[in-house]
Amino acid sequence: MEQYATFFKSMLRHPLQTGSVIPSSRYLAQTMVRDMDLKNASCVVELGPGTGAFTRTILSQLNPQAVFFALEWNPNLVTFLKREFPNAEIHCDSAEHLGKYLAERNTKADYILSGLPLSWLPKDLGERVLDTVHESLTDHGKFSMFQYIHSSMTPMGAQVHHMLKKRFRSIKISRTLRNLPPALVLTCEK
């Protein structure tokens, strides 16, 4: 229950950055990782973990030897995440700085999962994040993100789709109705 209260408070304080009133469901989390072989991954990154709806699923499937870190911009959510996942590496930083953390380890990511509300963030920030995501993936890496079905049909939603198509060679779209609101997962291959 605490995760709902923490998430809701974030939404009241930072509506555009939070982009939702409640955390994603475990069904959406499972769809986010469905095309990812997390057991055999060397490096996985999460952007915008919020209260950890996807973090929990990622950590339950990830090889314990793998590098994993998450970048969350909101310090209150970082405090919550550090308490909830004491062994996970969570940084209070913006997603666009992802390359710095990979460079420190001299590695690239097999998989990057994003909870960022790209339709609501400033377009130039979204472009920078997606450039960094693309550069940060290995040659066979995958990036997954979600959009609520209703917002995917708006001009801002279509713009996000266009930004992905400019960078990735394929985009697979899966639908999850068991989420409030129902959502699409876009899994992009480099």
Comparison of 117 and 157: residue with beta carbon closer to ligand SAM: 117
> Considering the complex, what minimum distance in angstroms separates the CB of residue 169 from ligand SAM?
25
Comparison of 16 and 173: residue with beta carbon closer to ligand SAM: 16
In angstroms, the CA 127 to CA 118 distance is 9
> Considering the complex, what minimum distance in angstroms separates the CB of residue 139 from ligand SAM?
25
Comparison of 8 and 171: residue with beta carbon closer to ligand SAM: 8
In angstroms, the CA 118 to CA 129 distance is 9
Strand segments (E) across the chain: 43-47, 67-72, 89-92, 109-114, 137-148, 170-176, 183-189
Comparison of 141 and 144: residue with beta carbon closer to ligand SAM: 144
> Considering the complex, what minimum distance in angstroms separates the CB of residue 171 from ligand SAM?
19
> Considering the complex, what minimum distance in angstroms separates the CB of residue 168 from ligand SAM?
20
Comparison of 95 and 133: residue with beta carbon closer to ligand SAM: 95
Binding residues vs ligand SAM (CB under 6 A): 17-20, 23-24, 47-50, 53-54, 71-74, 77, 94-95, 115-117, 121
In angstroms, the CA 91 to CA 31 distance is 25
In angstroms, the CA 45 to CA 54 distance is 11
> Considering the complex, what minimum distance in angstroms separates the CB of residue 65 from ligand SAM?
24
Nearest to 47 by CA among 103, 106, 1, 92: 92
Nearest to 112 by CA among 10, 178, 35, 169: 35
> Considering the complex, what minimum distance in angstroms separates the CB of residue 96 from ligand SAM?
6
**Residue 126 burial class via C-beta count within 10 angstroms: exposed 0-12, middle 13-18, buried 19 and up:** buried
Comparison of 21 and 67: residue with beta carbon closer to ligand SAM: 21
Instruction: Give the dihedral sign, CA 142/143/145/149.
Output: negative
